């Protein structure tokens, strides 16, 4: 594999993680004024429109799905769009953006373990060390420097909702590996967003979609544009490109950097507090990502 290709993959992965870090801030803002299903539907409506335009530009038209390709893409739409969105916006109604983003750092560990079991991806001592170091770093940040406090602390409904994001995104990432054996990354992401957006329509309509559209503020539309166009349209496509090159496990470990971006943005934009434990835990997370991806 050419070094240039690997450099491109890592650059777009880091960029995607920065965009996804911003989703927690934008989602937190939206969750305070718009119904979760309305926010999710509008997000993926914008994302679908952008991805359709990208697909038509690349292939001249929106690629059609064969019968054997429909179910894998429906699975992606259900797990990565419909289910994830419900947990995402519902959780952000009650817990801070930084805390929510830190919880999803469990995802790389889940992806790596399942990939090792079912896909026989290599998961040697160095990668195990990196994954564990990242996870410990996240726990340091969550528990404000005392990971043992997590054992005695309570878990709120919002925390459980974000743990649902962990489960749904793990399924989405691994399902993408199957789907891309038959489809290009752009086609898979485009149809997954379309199907997921259609699944979200009825719940959004029953949750007050029309009223939410009428009362949405300028900042709400700005957040929706960021979520739909940049953090979904571009970042989903880049993430799938990376999976196709370096695998689900090595791509997934980069998600550990999302909490770092999210907490920094939360501090700058939402005035969420930053403690020494954030700096310590963040360093451990980044170091763990490096170890996991070290040749």
Residue position matching structure tokens 């170890």: 291
Helix ranges (H only) for the chain are 3-31, 36-59, 67-76, 84-91, 97-103, 107-118, 125-142, 149-152, 157-179, 185-206, 209-215, 218-225, 235-246, 248-252, 258-269, 276-292
What tokens does 151 get?
């054992």
Percent composition of the chain: helix, strand, coil (DSSP 3-state, to 5): 80, 0, 20
pLDDT score of 2: 54
The Cα 151–Cα 86 span in angstroms is 27
The Cα 223–Cα 121 span in angstroms is 37
Q: How high does pLDDT run on average in the chain? A: 84
CB 90 within 8 A of CB 159: no
Residue position matching structure tokens 């695998």: 247
Based on its alpha-carbon atoms, the radius of gyration of the chain, rounded to whole angstroms, reads: 18
Q: Break the chain into its structural domains and give their ranges.
A: 3-292
* Residue 120 phi, psi dihedral angles, 5° rounding: 55, 35
Residue position matching structure tokens 């799905």: 65
- The CB-based long-range contact list for 12-16 (8 Å cut-off, 24+ gap) reads 12/238, 12/241, 12/242, 13/238, 13/239, 13/242, 13/251, 13/254, 14/254, 14/257, 15/235, 15/238, 16/234, 16/235, 16/238, 16/239, 16/242, 16/254
Among 227, 228, 236, smallest CA distance to 73 is for: 236
Give, as one character, the DSSP assignment of residue 65: P
Half-sphere exposure of 217 (CA within 13 A, CB side): 10
**Is this structure's pTM higher than 0.85?**
no
pLDDT score of 1: 46
Intervals of the chain under pLDDT 50 = 1
Residue position matching structure tokens 């379309």: 194
């Amino acid at each position: 594999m050419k070094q240039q290709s690997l450099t491109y993959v890592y650059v777009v992965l880091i960029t995607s993680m920065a965009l996804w870090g911003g989703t927690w801030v934008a989602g937190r803002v939206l969750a305070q004024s718009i119904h979760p299903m309305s926010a999710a539907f509008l997000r993926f409506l914008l994302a679908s429109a952008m991805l359709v335009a990208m697909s038509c530009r690349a292939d001249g038209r929106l690629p059609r799905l064969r019968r054997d390709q429909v179910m894998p893409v429906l699975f992606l739409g259900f797990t990565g769009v419909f289910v994830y969105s419900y947990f995402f916006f519902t959780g952000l109604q009650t817990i801070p953006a930084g805390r929510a983003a830190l919880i999803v750092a469990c995802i790389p560990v889940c992806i790596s373990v399942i990939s090792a079991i079912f896909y026989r991806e290599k998961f040697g001592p160095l990668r195990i060390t990196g994954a564990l170091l990242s996870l410990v770093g996240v726990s340091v940040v969550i528990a404000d420097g005392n990971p043992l406090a997590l054992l005695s602390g309570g878990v709120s409904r919002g925390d459980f909702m974000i743990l649902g994001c962990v489960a749904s995104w793990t399924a989405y990432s691994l399902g993408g590996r199957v789907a891309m054996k038959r489809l290009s990354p752009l086609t898979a992401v485009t149809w997954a967003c379309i199907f997921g957006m259609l699944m979200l329509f009825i719940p959004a309509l029953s949750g007050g979609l029309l009223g939410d559209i009428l009362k949405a503020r300028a900042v709400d539309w700005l957040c929706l544009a960021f979520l739909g166009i940049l953090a979904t349209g571009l970042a989903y496509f880049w993430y799938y490109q990376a999976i196709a090159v370096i695998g689900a496990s090595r791509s997934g470990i980069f998600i550990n950097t999302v909490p770092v971006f999210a907490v920094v943005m939360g501090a700058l934009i939402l005035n969420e507090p930053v403690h020494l434990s954030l700096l310590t835990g963040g360093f451990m997370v980044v170091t763990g990502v490096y170890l996991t991806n070290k040749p």
